[in-house]
Structures are given as structure tokens and as C-alpha cells.
Structure 1
Amino acid sequence: MTSAPPMQDLSVSLVLIAMLGVAAPLAARLLDRVVKIPIVVFEIGLGILLGPSLLGWIESTRFTDTLADFGVAMLFFVAGNEIDFSTIRGKPANRAAAGWIISLAAGIGAGFLLVPGPEAAVIIGIALSSTALGAILPILRDAGTSTSPLGIAVTALGAAGEFGPLIAISLFFSGRQVGIASVVLVGFVVLTGVAVFFASRARHTLFHAQVTRTLHTSSQFAVRSIMLILSALVVLSMVLGLDMLLGAFAAGVLWKTVMARAPEEDRKVVETKIDAVAFGFLVPIFFIDAGIDFDLAALTSSPATLALVPLFVALLLIIRGLPSLLASPPGAPPNEKRALILFGATGLPIIVAVTAIGRDQGLISSGIASALVGAGMISLLLFPLMALRQIRTRLRTDARPG
């Protein structure tokens, strides 16, 4: 029996990935009345189901992997674009950063206890110190708490839990000595900071006018400009030997600065277009591809490897969740503190990205990588729901007549 030509394999994979992209929100909607499950969990789960781990209907190809890289870059662009630095600057950001440093140190320490080799320990430390800001912000908005003191604290935690790991990845896995990598990283941060500074000072009147003129035409100047800024900073970070997600995150921050003085209505339209490109096309491919690459056989190869999943879930709560309390608003009630722990311990995108690096470079086994990703999926599935329950309990208590 002859095997299918590569182009046929690609065609089948593309159609099936597109099908899964449609099936995931339908499945989420079907179960919405019973339990609210993040769509990301369905995307990864369906990728596992149809991928080599189970049915074997979809295989990763170079083209789908490239689309997945664009997807994760777009995810971090959106994260950088959504952070309102004016609300988290000062104590919220400083306390969140301090909590992340503690989490990273504790995570690396736990890594040394679990795996041999410093590189593997750092991979585990970065994974356990991450926070899924891109997944948490929409949840906070839907709950109406994004601008509350708790929402500001969670945003600061998420910013530290995404930007911090990106810096760590760029320092330790750039292929350079840490000293040289640090100099390059500082240079990139300074360059980006200068660009953001001048962008914040300029009025961008002609730029905004062009955005307004083309919002509803085939020119789509705003979207094309986004792709230019994103591509330029991603390529710059790669040329410098830094992680490409650092460039994507910086591109989101820069775009938000450029559009800060644009008409509010135009900003909302552009945000809608960004969401359409990101969450309607590229980001689902990233998570589905992560499911396709998920090595279920390695995870279930031994009881010891499978037992790592609940262990990593517990470590996320301890190592990432507890230090998150440093960012707790003054006078926060116990319910909000518990919610802060749960939101801070919610992680997945960085876990997927850093374990892929570790697996590709032979630093960690496929079993450990799959256990970490599995723990990240569980955290994304359970922790935000549990945190919302804590917030709603507080809201119900406040609503009772005194």
C-alpha cells in the first residue's frame, strides 16, 4: 500500500484542522449551560483526538507548524495590546514582578528535584512560573471585574507571568552565554522602549486618518500595519537570538501606544479585526497543533509519568499561586485572595511554548513535556472557574441587605 503524497497529507490536515476550529466553539457552546470550559481546552483536546496519539487522522506538517508559529505570535501580540500599563504601573507591577521572581526561583528548585540537568530544571521553572494572561483577561471582562482592584492585580500578575518567562527563555535558550544574551536582551528592551516612548509622544494624525479611511475598504491599512509591526519585531527578536514571542509581545505594546489617541470608535473596530484574525484564524491553529503534537503515549507510558500531571497542578498552585498574593490589593477579603491565587496559577500558552523548546532541544522528555501541558490544560479548565466562584460569592455577600 503506497503512502499518500505530501501535498495530499497537507490538504487533509488543513481541512481537518479547519473542521476542528469550527467544532471547538460548537462543543463549548453545547456544554455552556452545564459548565463553562475555555475553548482552548476543546482545541487541544480535539487535536489530541484526531492526531497521532489517538485516531491518527492529522499529522503535523511544516506548513501547519508555520501557521501555528504565527498563531502563538498573534496570541502574545494580543496580550501585549490588551495590557493597560497606566493602571498597573507602580506598586501592582512591582509586587507582581517580585512574586514572579519568587515563582521562577521556586520552580527551578522544584525542577532540580524532578529532573537531572540545569537546562531541564529551568524549563520546568519557566513553565511553573507562567500565567495565561490572554485567557484570563476575557474572563475578567465578562465578569465585570477587569477594572476593579482585583482585576488590576490579576492583570499585573498576568503581565509579569507572560513577559517574565519570555525574558527567561531569551536569556537561557538563545544559544549564547547568559552574559552576552543579557546584553542583547537589554538592547532589545531599550530599543523597544525608545520606540514606545516616541510613539506615545507623537500624535499620529495622518496615520489615524489613513486607518479611518480604510477601516471598511479592501485596503485595511490598520491590519496591514499590524502585520508589519508584528513581523518586524518578531524578525528582529529572532535575528538577535531572542525568543520570537518577546518581539510579538513588544509589537502588541507598540501598537496599543500608536493607537492610543485614535478615535475610540476606530479603536473598537480595529480591536474587532484583531480578534477576528487572531481568534478566528491563527490562534486556534496553534492550540490544535499543540494537541496534534501532544504525546499521549509518553504521558501514559508509566504510572510515574502520569502522576506528574496532578503533581504539576499542585506545584502551579504552590509555586505560582501563593507568590501571587504579593500583588493582592490592600484590604482584599479572603475570597479575593483565593481568587488571586487561582488566577495567578492559570497557565498554558507559555507552558506549551517552553516545553516545545525543551522537547525539540532534547532537554526534557516527551513525557515530562506532556505532563506539564496536561497540567496547564487542567489549570485553564478549573482555576478560572473556581476563581469566578470566589468572586461571585463575594458579590452575593455584598448584595445582601445589611
Structure 2
Amino acid sequence: MFLAGMEVDLKQLTSSSKDVIQKSIIFISLMAFISISLGMIFRLNAITIISMPLISIGLLASLSKTYGKEQPWIKLAFIAGILGEIISIAALTVLDAASSTGFNVSLIIKIGYLLLFILAVYIIYRLLHLLFWWFPEIKSILVPKVDTSDQDIRLAMALFFILIAVMFSFELELALGSFIAGIAISAFFHHEKKLEEKISSIGFGFLIPIFFIHVGASFDLNSLMVEGVVTGAILITVLMLMSRILAAVVLKKITKAKDALLIALSLSMPLTLLVAVATIGYETQWIDLLSYYQLILASIFEIIISMTVIKILNANKKEED
């Protein structure tokens, strides 16, 4: 989530045309509507229905490394993905709070904490923006150009753990703190490409593979023999892919049809959020073990299918060019 936040370019987002922002919001809204409608038609449980519209740009960040950030579909996917991820993390935070407090006054208080936290982050961002505008030399003090002691890494990790501690103290979703920490580094130190390279190398090269290994290792292969696990996972996968592909029709007005399909596929891999929701649902007994395995397996299927189709479509694009 921290690495995903670092991929967020606030300048690109705020400077995007009104039409692009509007179409991105329509895409997210339409995708959520189709996902929820399909979930209700097939009588899926509430946690699965909540999981289906989730968007995460974690693997989109990995795609940007492979195909380049300057690809038009990558840029548009980030704009829609950032908006979708913010909404998804907020929904995950509310779900996490509800799992520990229930649907009562305590939940309203926690949502209040969440809104106050977001407001505080915005105010601090505006103040720091003004501070760095009037005193740009502060950036050089925090992240010196000639750095022999890796001060930039220390600053990034300090900010990461501070926001994690804040989220932990308010009992809010830690993923939100990680994501905001990454955005802060990207917003104020976007010019420091070496910092991004250092963190990305250890993140994409070491930590993210460990996460995938953990997800794979925690999945019981014997569950594949349980009736309903594979068929349920395939159904969830098909519905999630279908909702995004159908919603991507609105993006054809601002980009090519093939790029719209690539955007839909690149935003069909919310592995981290799906695992989080499935875990919360199972631990609170809102879903049974069968539904838990269905969600985990569906998240794996989505990655395999989406990554494969994206690779094929990009290969065809190169041949056409």
C-alpha cells in the first residue's frame, strides 16, 4: 500500500481535464452498481458483494514498471485507480471498524475519527505545501542531494511508521496510513527519483514477492477438493471482470477501445484488499470458510487472467504500431 501511494501523482490528478475526472467517476460508479447488482442476482453473501467493487492500484504500480508510466492507458488507469482506491480503503476502514464495534454509536464515532483524520491530513498537506513553497531549502535539509547516510530512506520509513502508529492508536485500517504515507513522499519529494528507486527495488524485488508467497502458503490446497470452492471462485472472478469491462465502455469516449479494456483489466486485481476483507469477514464469522477460500482463490484467478490478457493485448499493440 505504501508503494502504491508512492505511485500516486497528485499533480497529474489535479491537472487532469474535467472530462477525464468525470468519466473516471462514472466508470467507478457504474462498475460498483453492476458489481452489486450481479452479486444480488446470484445471491452472494454481503461480504462477497462488498468485495467485488474494490479497486487497488498495487499491481497497477507493478504494471507501470513493466510497460512504462507514460503509456496513455497506464496514466488513465492511475487516475481512475486512485479515486477507486481511496473509496475502497475508506470502505475497508468502515468494515474493519464495524467488525470490532458492531453497527452502533461506536461505529459512528470511529467514522468520525476517520473523517477528522482525513481532514487533518488535508490541512497538514496544505500547510506543508505552503512551507516548502516559501522555504524550498527545507527539502534539501530533509533529503540532501549529496546523501551518504541514506537520510531519504530514514525519512520515508519514519513517516511510514508514524502514520501506522496514528492509525493503530485510533484503531483504524492500517492500509490507509500506509497509502497516505506513500502519497506524502510522492507529493513532496517526487523529484527524488533515487528515493523511489531505492524503495521500489526492495519493495517490488523482495517484500511484495514475500506477500504473494504468504497468500499462496496460507491457501489450503485441500480446499480445492471442497465442493463449491472452485466454482464459486470462478463465478466471483467472472462477475468482477465483467463489471469492470462493461463499465469501461464509458472510457471509450476519452481513449481507444483497446486502452479502455486494458484499464478495466488493470483495475481488476485488488488482491491486497480482497485478502483483507476476506480475513475480516472470516474472523468475525460474517462468512464461512467456504466463502473465505472462494474470495482468496478468486483474487488469484483475477491476477492470472488479467496479467495474461494484458500481456497479449500489449504484444498485439506493439505489432500494430
TM-score normalised by structure 2 residue count? 0.84
Larger radius of gyration: 1
**1:77 deviation in Å?**
0.9
Q: For 1:372 and 1:378, how far apart are their aligned partners in 2?
A: 10
Contact 2:143 2:152 in 1 (8 A): yes
Q: For 2:235 and 2:319, how far apart are their aligned partners in 1?
A: 33
Letter aligned with residue 20 of structure 2: P
**1:206 deviation in Å?**
3.3
Residue 238 (structure 1) aligns with: 168
Q: 1:259 aligns with which of 189, 214, 235?
A: 189
**1:174 deviation in Å?**
0.6
Contact 1:299 1:371 in 2 (8 A): no
Contact 1:99 1:326 in 2 (8 A): yes
Contact 1:107 1:124 in 2 (8 A): no
Q: 2:201 aligns with which of 260, 267, 276?
A: 276
Q: For 1:213 and 1:342, how far apart are their aligned partners in 2?
A: 39
- Residue 312 (1) aligns with residue 242 (2): no
Contact 1:93 1:160 in 2 (8 A): no
- SS of equivalent residue, structure 1 residue 224: helix
Q: 2:20 aligns with which of 69, 89, 92?
A: 92
Letter aligned with residue 237 of structure 2: V
Moved more, 311-320 or 290-299: 290-299
In the TM superposition, what whole-angstrom CA distance separates every residue of 1:51-103 from its partner, at most 9, and x where no partner exists?
xxxxxxxxxxxxxxxxxxxxxxxxx1111111112223344344333433343
350 and 92 in structure 1: CA distance in 2 versus 1, 3 angstrom threshold? farther
* Identical pairs, percent: 20
Contact 2:230 2:297 in 1 (8 A): no
Q: For 2:90 and 2:141, how far apart are their aligned partners in 1?
A: 36
Q: 1:369 aligns with which of 284, 292, 296?
A: 292
Residue 307 (structure 2) aligns with: 384
Q: For 2:53 and 2:34, how far apart are their aligned partners in 1?
A: 9
Q: For 1:313 and 1:192, how far apart are their aligned partners in 2?
A: 35
Contact 2:274 2:299 in 1 (8 A): yes
Residue 215 (structure 1) aligns with: 147
356 and 143 in structure 1: CA distance in 2 versus 1, 3 angstrom threshold? same
**1:246 deviation in Å?**
0.7
Q: For 1:185 and 1:114, how far apart are their aligned partners in 2?
A: 33
Q: 2:54 aligns with which of 113, 130, 134?
A: 130
**1:249 deviation in Å?**
0.6
Residue 157 (structure 2) aligns with: 227
In the TM superposition, what whole-angstrom CA distance separates every residue of 1:99-130 from its partner, at most 9, and x where no partner exists?
333433443444455667xxx51x32342223
**1:315 deviation in Å?**
0.9
291 and 226 in structure 1: CA distance in 2 versus 1, 3 angstrom threshold? same
Letter aligned with residue 242 of structure 1: L
- Residue 360 (1) aligns with residue 289 (2): no
CA RMSD of aligned residues (A): 2.6
Where do residues 134-145 of structure 1 align in structure 2 (5 Å cutoff)?
A: 134-144=58-68
- Residue 339 (1) aligns with residue 267 (2): no
Q: For 1:210 and 1:170, how far apart are their aligned partners in 2?
A: 31
Contact 2:248 2:261 in 1 (8 A): no
Q: For 1:185 and 1:227, how far apart are their aligned partners in 2?
A: 23
Q: For 2:206 and 2:160, how far apart are their aligned partners in 1?
A: 16
TM-score normalised by structure 1 residue count? 0.69
Q: 2:138 aligns with which of 200, 206, 217?
A: 206
